[in-house]
Amino acid sequence: MPGWNATHIPDQSGRTAVVTGANSGIGYIAARELARRGASVVLACRSAARGRAAVIRLRAEVPRAEAEFMALDLADLASVREFAAAYGSRYGVLDLLINNAGVMALPYGRTADGFETQFGVNHLGHFALTGLLLPRLRAAAPGARIVNVSSGFHVLGRIDPAATDLADPGGAHGYRRWVAYGRSKTANLLFTHELSRRFTAAGSPITAAAAHPGYASSNLHSGASKLEGPTLNSRVAAFGNAVLAQPTSSGALPTLYAATAPGVRPDAFIGPRFGWRGAPAPFWRAGWTLDDRSGELLWAASEKLTGVSYAALPR
């Protein structure tokens, strides 16, 4: 694993991948490198203009790439359902689902379905998408993988999956955007844990793993910095992006490793070797993201909130 980089990605010919939020940053790099190794890649993006522009750019960088844009707004469950239906009508199988898209440290807001935005987009949107695409993943097994992109910032937000206000705790009055971001990233890891447990119980060969990019220069970080305004925190964040952050191409490596490297274990959490930068390696995670009961409760609540059932997977 030391020194692992994009040149080590195994041949992906004949495989199909969906990468959410692939119009820029880590998602774009992941889509490009998968396409470079022969995968047929769907860039699932909210903005049609940015998504189509990303496909044009990708094909210019990888002339033989098989890549297309498909519209997906994770803040709207109707859009998630439309994407899954459209994908199913065009592709028989799905070998790789990278749940990469996300928002970070936004002011308080709600999704089209009334969920707090960060929890709604980062967790519930991807939970619904994965469930709706599960038949396509099962058709591709063995070898199919799901990668949920989390963050080291999951430590900022422990959640109570049994809470009646799980999708909007405290409303605007009790909202703290970094805590809300941490909660959504904790949810990503709990989802991965419970998904892996259920795949094992079902005897499924699908692997679910998680990754985080470390401190990578990306639109996600710069967008969060802009929200701070001209404060000390924003200046420190801007300095970190300019001087300390690793390139986006390096930040994408943990995701690509989790998605393609042989021997990735179910429920693995892959991040940079040195925490904020470095080659991909197994990464520490808070103990509450490995709690079976919390995983079960979050799963049940997520099914109820999204209306998406994973009936084929036993508890």
Closest CA to 238 of 108, 230, 25, 156: 230
Catalytic, out of 181, 215, 257, 310:
181
Closest CA to 20 of 116, 114, 110, 132: 132
194: tokens are 């419970």
CA dist 180 and 158 (Å) reads 9
Separation of CA 304 from chain center? 21
Secondary structure (3-state) at 184:
helix
181 is catalytic: yes
CA dist 174 and 153 (Å) reads 19
CA dist 219 and 224 (Å) reads 8
**Which amino acids are annotated catalytic?**
181
